[in-house]
């Protein structure tokens, strides 16, 4: 347990006076102030006006927009106008918006993650990715969002749960800050998080089982067989349907998350958006010693092609993530089909 303030953490990060770092730290401060206000709105629940429900609108990806989605987007874009941010790209906006053309960074954001949980009083959040601005002239600057996730300067999310927390990386570990109402500020709650490489817990929306490809089905089948299957250990399963909540849990106690592509219409690349969901989560997870793939390839190596592009996402404890990749790349050598497992089965019989 450590107890530096977020301000102290950011001040030490900008100590060398690098202008990009300065811009990142000012932006994170603005995001944090806005998250505190968002939390107050969320805490009012159905008693507050921002909870009125659907506006009957949908975002560019076809998701129904709830009032709180739009409210969160309005809040964060206003906040980013107070920060040195050139471009603001959001799940809720079809195209990125130019804020300060001379500023050095671009912010990609999922203003409200886990929207389907708003009315159920389950944790929701805000995910952000901060990238350096690239591209000349100004009209070419949207290219900033199409850099591989490995170019991110910082990434993080706020989780509006039993605690308001910020999980942040600026490229030197993954840091968890919890908002202290008493002190009115975010305090660092843990040293840099280290994710256990092994796990016995997986998270997937099992309702889609029949739509998955065989590799994903076999992986899950092997987990479900527990001590009687090739894994020879019991597994636990979780699905909160809130990416921020799943990520927080995995950072705290290990585990693996899967949202693969499946055969449903529109789900060939899964559900998670690359630029403002998968990339920041992958950066946080890698900085904690975990791994993140599109089932096979490292997420942070992918070059985005469009602002709202979806990507299959697997992340969490590194050994488990790499194991899942092998179900896709060498299916005949893993799980129940592995020669060693069959031998063992013969001996047992």
Residues lying near ligand FBP in the complex (CB under 6 A) are found at 63, 91, 110, 113-116, 205, 241-243, 271
242's contact among ligand FBP, Mg ion, none, with CB below 5 to 8 A by partner kind, is ligand FBP
DSSP state of 63: P
SS3 helix, strand, coil % of the chain, rounded to 5? 40, 20, 35
**Residue 113 marked ligand-binding:** yes
Ligand-binding site membership of 191 (annotated): no
Is 22 one of the annotated binding-site residues? no
CB of 19 to Mg ion, least distance (A): 31
Bridge pairing between strands 291-293 and 313-316:
antiparallel
**Residue 105: CB partners within 8 Å, gap ≥ 6?**
20, 23, 24, 27, 84, 85, 86, 130, 131, 132, 133, 153
Query: Which one, of 16, 57, 45, lies nearest residue 117 by Cα?
Result: 45
Distance CA 252, CA 17 (A): 33
C-beta of 13 vs 248, nearer to ligand FBP: 248
Looking at the Cβ atoms of 91 and 294, the one nearer to Mg ion is 91
Q: How many CA atoms lie within 13 A of 79 on its CB side?
A: 22
Q: Known binder of ligand: residue 12? A: no
Question: Which CB sits closer to ligand FBP, 111 or 230?
Answer: 111
205 is in an annotated binding site: yes
* CB nearer ligand FBP, residue 13 or residue 158: 158
Q: What are residue 258's DSSP bridge partners?
A: 314
Which partner, Mg ion, ligand FBP, none, binds residue 221 by CB below 5 to 8 Å per kind?
none
Binding mask 108-147 for Mg ion (x = CB under 5 A): --x-xx----------------------------------
Q: Does 246 bind Mg ion (CB under 5 A)?
A: no
By C-beta, is 60 or 192 nearer to ligand FBP? 60
* Segment lying near Mg ion (by CB under 5 A), choices 31-39, 103-111, 191-199, 254-262: 103-111
Taking the CA atoms of residue 17, residue 23, residue 29 and residue 30 in that order, the dihedral angle to the nearest 10 degrees is 150
Closest CA to 141 of 187, 182, 80, 98: 98
Instruction: State in angstroms the smallest separation of the CB of 67 from Mg ion.
Output: 13
**What does R_g of the chain's alpha carbons equal in angstroms?**
21
Smallest gap, in angstroms, from Cβ of residue 126 to ligand FBP?
9
Please tell me whether 92 is known to bind a ligand.
no
Buried b (16+ CB within 10 A) or exposed e, 254-270: bbbbbbbbbeeeebebb
Residue 271's binding partner among ligand FBP, Mg ion, none (Cβ under 5 to 8 angstroms by kind) is ligand FBP
With CB under 5 to 8 Å by kind, the binding choice for 125 among Mg ion, ligand FBP, none is: none
Q: Which residues contact Mg ion (rule: CB under 5 A)?
A: 91, 110, 112-113
């Amino acid at each position: 347990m450590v107890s530096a303030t977020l301000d102290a953490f950011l001040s030490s990060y900008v100590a060398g006076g690098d202008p990009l770092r300065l811009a990142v730290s000012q932006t994170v401060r603005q995001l944090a102030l806005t998250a505190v206000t968002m939390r107050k709105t969320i805490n009012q629940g159905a008693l507050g006006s921002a909870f009125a429900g659907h506006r009957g609108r949908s975002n560019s990806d076809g998701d129904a927009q709830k009032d709180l989605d739009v409210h969160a987007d309005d809040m964060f874009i206003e906040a980013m106008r107070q920060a040195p941010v050139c471009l603001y790209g959001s799940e809720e906006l079809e195209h990125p918006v130019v804020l300060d053309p001379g500023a050095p960074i671009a912010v990609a954001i999922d203003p409200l993650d886990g929207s389907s949980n708003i009315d159920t009083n389950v944790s929701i959040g805000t995910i952000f990715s901060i990238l350096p601005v690239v591209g000349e002239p100004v009209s070419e600057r949207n290219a900033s969002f199409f850099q591989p996730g490995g170019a991110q300067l910082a990434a993080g999310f706020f989780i509006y749960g039993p605690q308001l927390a910020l999980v942040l990386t600026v490229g030197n570990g993954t840091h968890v800050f919890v908002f202290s109402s008493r002190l009115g500020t975010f305090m660092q709650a843990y040293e840099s998080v280290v994710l256990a490489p092994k796990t016995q817990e997986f998270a997937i929306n099992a309702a889609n089982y029949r739509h998955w490809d065989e590799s994903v089905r076999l992986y899950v089948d092997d987990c479900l067989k527990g001590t009687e299957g090739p894994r020879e250990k019991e597994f636990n399963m979780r699905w909160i349907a809130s990416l921020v909540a799943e990520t927080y849990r995995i950072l705290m106690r290990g585990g693996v998350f899967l949202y693969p592509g499946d055969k449903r219409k529109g789900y060939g690349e899964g559900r998670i958006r690359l630029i403002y969901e998968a990339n920041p989560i992958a950066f946080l997870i890698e900085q904690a010693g975990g791994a993140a793939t599109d089932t096979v390839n490292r997420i942070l190596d992918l070059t985005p092609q469009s602002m709202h592009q979806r990507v299959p996402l697997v992340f969490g404890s590194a050994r488990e993530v790499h194991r899942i990749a092998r179900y896709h790349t060498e299916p005949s050598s893993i799980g129940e089909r592995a020669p060693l497992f069959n031998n063992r089965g013969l001996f047992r019989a």
